Amino acid sequence: MSYRLKPLNQQTVVITGASSGIGLATARRAAREGAKVVLVARNEDALREAAEDIEAAGGQAAWCAVDIADSAWPEKVGKVADDRFGGFDSWVNNAAASLYARLDEVTEEEHRRVFDVGYFGTVAGSLYAAKRLRERSGGALINTGSVLSERAVGVQGVYSAMKHAVKGFTDALRVELQEEDAGVSVTLIKPNGIDTPYPEHARNKMDRPASVPPVIYDPELAAKAICFACEHPRRELLVGGQGLLLTKAGNLFPGLTDLIMQNFMMEDGQSSDTPPEPGAEDNLFEPRKDGRVRSNQDNFVRKSSLALEAQMHPAVAIATGMGTIAAAGLIGALARSRRA
């Protein structure tokens, strides 16, 4: 399969969920690297401010305020991209909604809302983008999954199920587009816990403010992975070494991983003493105060991920690993020679 992906500074990139968190970080990073960006979310004021900030910094940005649960949203966004920039080259489905609650506490309406935004919104955006990118002789489609696409966690069961569905859909669509030789690269981004306003925006039925359990990573790492995928075909990119370990552990030792989840990843492991910023709480059905990339919690945040770098640059990682092994062997040989 051959893909013709342009350098990022020659692209127009559509990004959903762009009013905060990973989406906003990605829009800013792509614009800094020279891409034209189309920001998509519900919060019109936050989108306008973000686009104005990008343009004030020398970038090019447009915005489109839509509810991703509305099945007609992709056409509205496509029209903005066409009118402002003549189309798009990469499309990033990043929008999601969530809640912290045990499954028997979740109403059917809440359950459906999480899927309407995170899954059916991704499906509608993906199918529209794939059709348009075929017409443009290729491009990149990037869907944001999660480490929870691989390993479900209690208290976020509905979100975990939705991200499992996103992964299944993305994998199937990739196969179909490859079989057609459509020239559309399909990448699933799977972030570990990221320091975004996600726990503030999620509906919370716990007794304490919600949080993301550690290890927590910088949103810029997820943005870096997404921008990389706009230029380089990758099947998946997992952001954060802890997520990689959790995924492998769940595959090899599912029972033991369940036990760890039960003891360390329930309400106590996903709660905080820091309440949401006023006006930001619970955007499940309505947009709330927005515009921040990072959370309001005092977290220790990892700024780098060797696991991500190895996935983006496997040849360098292999060479570095071989070099490390060779150096260790040389040191060992010298030590033995000295002893002799």
Q: In this structure, what CATH number is given to the domain that contains residue 83? A: 3.40.50.720
Alpha-carbon distance of 254 to 185, in angstroms, equals: 32
Cβ contacts of 328 within 8 Å, gap of 6 or more: none
Residue 184: the pLDDT is 97
One-letter amino acid at 119 equals: Y
Structural domain for 75, as ranges: 8-304
Residue 276 and residue 194 in one domain = yes
Quickly count helices (H) and strands (E) in the chain. 12, 11
Q: For residue 2, tell me if it sits in a domain.
A: no
288 shares its domain with 320: no
Same domain, 324 and 225: no
78 and 144 housed in the same domain: yes
Catalytic-labelled residue, pool 100, 119, 128, 159: 159
| Segments of the chain scoring below 70 in pLDDT | 1, 316-340
- Residues 109-112: contacts with CB within 8 Å, 24+ apart? 110/158, 110/203, 110/284, 111/158
In a domain, residue 309? The reply is no
Residue 3 lies in a domain: no
For residues 183 and 322, membership in a common domain is answered with: no
Residue 126: predicted pLDDT: 98
Together in a domain, 276 and 336: no
**What pLDDT score was predicted for residue 35?**
98
Q: Are residues 289 and 320 in the same domain?
A: no
Which DSSP category does 100 fall into? Answer: E
List CB contacts of 100: < 8 A, sequence separation 6 or more. Answer: 155, 156, 199, 202, 203, 204, 205, 206, 210, 270
Distance (Å, whole) CA 107 – CA 110: 5
Domain count, the chain: 2
pLDDT at 250: 79
Provide the pLDDT for residue 297. 95
Cis peptide before 114 (omega within 30 of 0): no
Tell me, yes or no, whether 211 lies in a domain.
yes
Please report the pLDDT score of residue 1 as a whole number. Answer: 64
For 14-48, write each residue's pLDDT tens digit.
999 999 999 999 999 999 999 999 999 999 999 99
The answer to whether 159 is a known catalytic residue is yes
